Amino acid sequence: MNSKTSNLGLILVVFLLVGIFSTASAHNNKPTSLSLASDTLVNKSEQVFKLNQELQSAFYRADSPEKELSSERLQSVIKIREALLAELAAENPAAFFAGLLPQTEKAKLPKAIQSTLEREVVVLGVLRAIHIDDFTNHDNSSTKYFLETDNKNYDLYSVKSLDKFFVGSTIEVSGVSLANFVVARNLSLIDSADQLIASESTGEQRVAVLLIDFADSVSQRPFSAKEAQGIIFDSQFQKFFAEQSYNKVSFAGDVYGWYTLPRSVTNYSVCGGAVTQEEVENIIAQNNINLHKYDRLLVMPSHPYVTNGCSSVGKYNQIINGESYYISTSWIGNLVQYNWPSFWGAQPFSWTNLDYLLAHELGHALGVQHANGLDCHNEIVYGNACRAIEYGNAFDTMGNLSYSLHFNAFNKERLGWITKDNSTTVSQDVKGLIIDPLAVGKGKVLVKILQSNQSSRTKKSPYYLEYRKAVGFDSNLKRRDFSSNQQGIFINKIPSFSVAPQLLDMTPRDAADWYSGIRNTTLNKGQTFTDLGRGISISVLGSTSTASSTISDPIMAISRDTRPTVAISYFAPECERFVPRVNQAYAPNFQIPAGDYGFISMRFENADYYGCGAANFVIETILPPGWSVSQTYPENNLTRLEPEEESYASTNFYIPVGTTPGAYFVEMKVRNTASGLVSSYPTNIFVTN
């Protein structure tokens, strides 16, 4: 098979956020399904440009003397502009950069005004993240990054991927700062956190649980505080972590509450959005809860409108009621149906909504990201049709649907549960490697394949191999439609610019439903997967049988454990280039009056084989005659990307006064200069009087 320092308010505020863009893929040089910019995105860009004009006119344009802008209006312009730029940074960092005042223009303003505007910065800090999970509608899920520094915390956005760094890593950010946020142009790793999380995710984890309800949900309390102690700390969730960590992690703690907030909840909220920072801090202060005793804070608001879950990724420094705590914070919703069989995948044993939510969100709290998938339609790892599937590993609790439950081998290694003693690292040709069952935790449960030229390009291992049997919390693999996955190996790809593993489908087909397609996803006996771009070939040669007497744990006993044997070989990587992959594109979806500004943007990726190396990409925007570009990102319309790396491009343009109403053709193109291959996003802009 071939394939060509923070406060609690931060976490409370970001739990209100949801993702606003939908993922799209390109099968050729034109995207097949792209998200148009919301009216608000384009409106914000337009408003920022008008406010820029107002600032410029007030101070140095001869046709508009300074006295026309009162001090009250000046302060209003600065505040409104700051708020709009903050929203642009969160929605589309390229649009943020395209909306800034050019340095030459900013320098003409009075120094007192310049000091209130954006500024170029280089900031050193620790990368932190919070996941907001909406398991019903994945488009509403999002990750919020922030930068923890000695002096303050910044919300962090970037035109380049932040996913390539382990949360907790020390990074240097070069970009623009305004108010409490930084938007990065460039990112540099100073110190990786690849060992930090393991030291914090083993042993007993002390948890403080806050039970919170509301005036209109007191009568619907799902359990008492005493019952909660057993439901959380003596539960399937607890047994699951003991099994999958090979008894290396456990949870203990105290339950506080119930605490009733004297108000109602009127709107649906993804986990923590229904409770304010002040309310949680008041509960902690008024009840003398000493968070220094704990490693984790778990907030459980009960209301029919409070759903899903969210969590920080690992621990971070939080200021609560004036004191500093180094803890993680997680929120769990859906308490009204806490003891129902899990909405996210039925199991052949007791497994409730609460079990799943606790396992997923405390997985984040321990330090791991989602278990994703890579859908390349009829291919496995390359091609313009490829798209990352958030939650796409259905065989992992950090993914979706729970075909099986154990975390994948990459995340287990990340958490310190798989060590060198039970893993094999491959860097040269090898034949006859045996992979032991992941759930058992005995023998060699992980084969990690290094890149042959990793020292010059990346220190990541691109492929992690694991083998699963239908035992323990993976026993759902006994199902007829999943059972074939016990005959081969699961392959997770670690993207060059992400630390979230992607499950590969070894039996790819052009199916609209990814999750149906991966019911049979393993590489089985007699099959070979070849990554031409990395020069790596993986084959399943056969199997080795082991008598059950060699397995002492009764829950893991397997009558005849058939373990796969594999071969890995290396060869010179090949280079095949593809048109740039456009993952998202944005343009106005409403009418724009003549004399106003328009906006077009795209997020694109270098889709070339890994063996090709980095390439330059040129961005070009085609406008009707007479229309003019007002600002672009990147400023020189040129960016350099490694394979699998993505970036944004954005152009703001001016529609002249007097333009005849009607539809006008506008197109953004991105060209790989190494191949000359072009992707484009054409659209019509509708102009009114």
Instruction: Name the residue with tokens 């089985």.
Output: 524
Average pLDDT of the residues in 90-108: 89
**Cβ atoms < 10 Å from Cβ of 366:** 29
Does pLDDT of 341 surpass 90? yes
**CATH assignment of 8-20+32-191?**
2.40.50.140
Average pLDDT of the residues in 17-29: 31
Whole-angstrom Cα distance, residue 457 to residue 219? 59
Whole-angstrom Cα distance, residue 256 to residue 290? 11
Q: Where are the domains of the chain?
A: 8-20+32-191, 197-366, 372-570, 581-688
Residue 232's pLDDT band (boundaries 50, 70, 90)?
Answer: very high
Residue 528's pLDDT band (boundaries 50, 70, 90)?
Answer: very high
Q: Could you tell me which residues come within 8 angstroms of residue 610 by beta carbon, excluding any fewer than 6 positions away?
A: 462, 496, 531, 533, 534, 573, 643, 644
Does pLDDT of 103 surpass 90? no
**CATH assignment of 581-688?**
2.60.40.10
Does pLDDT of 15 surpass 60? no
Instruction: Name the residue with tokens 């009621």.
Output: 321
Q: What is the pTM of this model?
A: 0.90
Determine the pLDDT at residue 335: 93
**Cβ atoms < 10 Å from Cβ of 455:** 9
**CATH assignment of 197-366?**
3.40.390
Could you read off the pLDDT of 115-158 as tens digits, one per residue? 999 999 999 999 999 999 998 888 889 999 999 998 789 999 99
- The alpha carbon of 165 is separated from its chain's Cα centroid by a whole number of angstroms, namely 11
Angle ∠(593,652,669) on CA atoms, nearest 5: 115
Nearest-Å Rg of the Cα atoms of the chain is 26
Determine the pLDDT at residue 635: 87
Could you read off the pLDDT of 26-54 as tens digits, one per residue? 333 333 333 434 556 777 888 888 888 88
Element (H or E) spanning 577, and its range? Answer: none
Whole-angstrom Cα distance, residue 621 to residue 637? 9
Closest to 189 in 3D by CA, of 212, 209, 165: 165
Determine the pLDDT at residue 521: 96
Average pLDDT of the residues in 57-67: 56
Whole-angstrom Cα distance, residue 668 to residue 679? 9
Average pLDDT of the residues in 629-643: 92
Does pLDDT of 509 surpass 70? yes
For 81, the 3-state DSSP assignment is helix
Distances in whole angstroms, Cα of residue 471 to Cα of each of 296, 406, 441, 444: 30, 10, 12, 17
Whole-angstrom Cα distance, residue 209 to residue 415? 23
For 594, the 3-state DSSP assignment is coil
Q: How confident is the prediction for the chain on average, in pLDDT?
A: 87
Determine the pLDDT at residue 361: 97
Average pLDDT of the residues in 273-287: 89
Whole-angstrom Cα distance, residue 41 to residue 95? 9
Does pLDDT of 9 surpass 60? no
For residue 651, list its beta bridge partners.
600, 632
- The alpha carbon of 86 is separated from its chain's Cα centroid by a whole number of angstroms, namely 20
Burial class (CB in 10 A: 0-12, 13-18, 19+), 23: middle
Does pLDDT of 67 surpass 80? no
Q: By the 8 A CB rule, do 587 and 600 touch? A: yes
Pick the more confident residue, 686 or 461: 686
Determine the pLDDT at residue 73: 85
Question: How far separated are the first and last CA of the chain, in Å rounded?
Answer: 58
Per-residue DSSP letter, 216: T
Does pLDDT of 60 surpass 80? no
Determine the pLDDT at residue 452: 73
Does pLDDT of 511 surpass 90? no
**Cβ atoms < 10 Å from Cβ of 232:** 23
Could you give the dihedral angle defined by the CA atoms of residues 242, 247, 249 and 252, in that order, rounded to the nearest 10 degrees?
A: 60
Determine the pLDDT at residue 546: 59
Does pLDDT of 548 surpass 80? no
